[in-house]
């Protein structure tokens, strides 16, 4: 496509608009022609994938050429509707505005990150899904894995057992 960057995971995870849990639906009305709607078009093209990636449970609907003026509409859990006029704004301004009104602040995001980190202990070993490392041999400075480098004689169970039998 035109800007294949939009389809990389790195770009998607760079989106910083995380909605509060009360936002359920986001509706974007914009026009495919006209300068007023230019910012809205850029917003839909570049920023909506980022937002949807960060908020997979928010329903996003796009409507084209229904009304002469472009706008965003958010439907919250308590029945409230937030109308955001987007006419004559650049796409960065729109994201900043949306982040300010309905996005989680940096402190809450950091708090959540810390909570998530607390759940998993980084010093344990096990399957990749739950732990960082699988075996002590992966760490530099520790005894390397005997699959790649044979252990010295003194550490091998065969030798130790032979010594014991002798003595």
Chain positions contacting other proteins, by CB under 8 A: 7-9, 12, 24-25, 27, 31, 33-34, 48-49, 52-53, 56, 59-61, 63, 65-69, 71, 73, 75, 77, 79, 83, 85, 87
Q: Write the CB contacts of 93 (distance below 8 Å, at least 6 apart in sequence).
A: 39
Pick between residue 53 and residue 96 the one whose CB is nearest to other proteins. Answer: 53
Minimum CB–partner distance for residue 24 and other proteins (Å):
4
Minimum CB–partner distance for residue 6 and other proteins (Å):
8
Longest CA–CA span in the chain (Å) reads: 95
Pick between residue 66 and residue 147 the one whose CB is nearest to other proteins. Answer: 66
Give the separation between CA 123 and CA 160, rounded to whole angstroms: 30
Minimum CB–partner distance for residue 69 and other proteins (Å):
5
Pick between residue 53 and residue 90 the one whose CB is nearest to other proteins. Answer: 53
Antiparallel, parallel or unpaired: β 71-76 and 81-85: antiparallel
Antiparallel, parallel or unpaired: β 59-64 and 23-30: parallel
Nearest to 97 by CA among 74, 63, 69: 74
Structure tokens at 135: 């075996």
Pick between residue 70 and residue 103 the one whose CB is nearest to other proteins. Answer: 70
Minimum CB–partner distance for residue 88 and other proteins (Å):
12
Taking only Cα atoms into account, the Rg of the chain, rounded to an integer number of angstroms, comes to 27
Residue ranges of alpha helices (H) inside 24-156 are 38-42, 48-54, 91-102, 106-119
Pick between residue 69 and residue 90 the one whose CB is nearest to other proteins. Answer: 69
Minimum CB–partner distance for residue 95 and other proteins (Å):
17
């Amino acid at each position: 496509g035109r800007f294949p960057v939009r389809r990389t995971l790195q770009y998607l995870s760079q989106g910083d608009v995380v909605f509060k849990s009360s936002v359920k639906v986001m509706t974007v009305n914009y026009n495919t022609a006209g300068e007023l709607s230019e910012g809205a078009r850029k917003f839909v093209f570049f920023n909506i994938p980022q937002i949807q990636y960060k908020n997979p449970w928010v329903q996003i609907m796009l409507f084209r050429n229904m009304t002469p003026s472009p706008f965003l509409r958010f439907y919250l859990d308590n029945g409230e509707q937030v109308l955001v006029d987007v006419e004559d704004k650049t796409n960065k301004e729109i994201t900043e505005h949306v982040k300010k009104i309905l996005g989680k602040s940096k402190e809450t995001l950091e708090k959540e990150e810390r909570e998530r980190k607390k759940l998993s202990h980084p010093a344990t070993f096990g399957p990749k899904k739950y732990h960082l490392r699988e075996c002590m041999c992966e760490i530099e400075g520790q005894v390397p894995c005997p699959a790649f480098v044979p252990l010295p004689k003194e550490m091998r169970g065969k030798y130790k057992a032979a010594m014991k039998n002798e003595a």
